[in-house]
Amino acid sequence: MTLNAELGAFLAAIPQLAFAGEPAEFRAKMDAGMALRPVTTPLPRVEDRTVPGPAGAPELPVRIYAPESPEAAPGLPVVVFFHGGGFCIGSIGSHDPVARKIAEQVGCIVVSVEYRLAPEHPFPAAYEDACAAYAWVREHAADLGGDPDRVAVAGDSAGASLSAAVCLMARDRGIAQPVFQLLWYPATGVEGTASQLANTNDPLLPPDSIAWFGEHYFSKIPPGAAVPYGAVALADDLSGLAPALVVVAGEDPLHDEGIVYAERLRAAGVPAAVEDHPDMSHGFVSFADFVAPAAAATAGSYAALRKAFGM
């Protein structure tokens, strides 16, 4: 299968930033470009605030989205969302369209989390931030107008890895599991897969980007230090975790990692479905507002969340 023609044409028309230099420089250029993008999914409630970070760490910026006011629709389900970007780039702003679309399509509150990035904040900072944000939302969902018994986690790429890790960390730390984990093309720590070797032409995750992320994040920690939370597929025990939908893209080097993780979840007794989009690239969810096939590929994700929430 080759890359969807409509998605490929759209990506070819976008100026691509080089994966070179320091991540802070890349972030600044990325944010400047995102500031010019129009809001495609207006919502009646979008609120920026901070929530407590892990012990000894700064507070975490979050952006809260809702399709209705708390007065009009109290007790909505909640999705805690973590953005992608290889743990080095990305932000609430870069993934604002994705968070808005989840809120609109699912009919839920979305809490998008600004976690700390590498190389300034190496592993496990992002993971501890993600777990702290999830725990806070579980405790304060009602204050946000949400239902504390219907809280899910979701993320794309690095954010999907964080979502999966939050489930592990919550289990190990005695925090209630989310009702669901939606994982869009996660990195799960499996190396040497066929897709890593074959899918070297993905426009959103080319080899130079993988090497750049590795230089600024993964090389900063000792070998094996990422297991289990930073390499969830290598964890010894995956039992007792939230049901999952793992969404993978056929042109993505991470394709096989997602499938392996779903298989490991099922082997541990965790309900885990795989949704495979053979002609999509890594990052396709971010382009659903502009590319109809990418939008169609997100429909199953929103349906799975609605089902998990009993909607």
Q: What DSSP letter does each residue of the chain carry, written as one string? A: ----HHHHHHHHTSPPPPS-S-HHHHHHHHHHHHTTSPPSS--SEEEEEEE--STTS--EEEEEEESS-TTTSTTEEEEEEE--STTTS--TTTTHHHHHHHIIIIISEEEEE----TTTS-TTHHHHHHHHHHHHHHHHTGGGTEEEEEEEEEEETHHHHHHHHHHHHHHHHTPPPPS-EEEES---S--S-HHHHH----SSS-HHHHHHHHHHTGGGS-TTTTTTTTSGGG-S--TTPPPEEEEEETT-TTHHHHHHHHHHHHHTT--EEEEEETTPPTTGGGGTTT-HHHHHHHHHHHHHHHHHTT-
Q: Active site residue: 94, 157, 161, 286, which one?
A: 157
Q: Active site residue: 95, 121, 255, 282, which one?
A: 282
282 is catalytic: yes
Which residues make beta-bridge pairs with 247? 184, 275
252 is catalytic: yes
Residues sharing a CB contact under 8 Å with residue 223, sequence separation 6 or more, in sequence order? none
157 is catalytic: yes
Q: Do residues 180 and 304 lie in contact, with contact meaning Cβ atoms separated by under 8 Å? A: yes
Q: Active site residue: 202, 252, 256, 279, which one?
A: 252
Residues annotated as catalytic are: 157, 252, 282
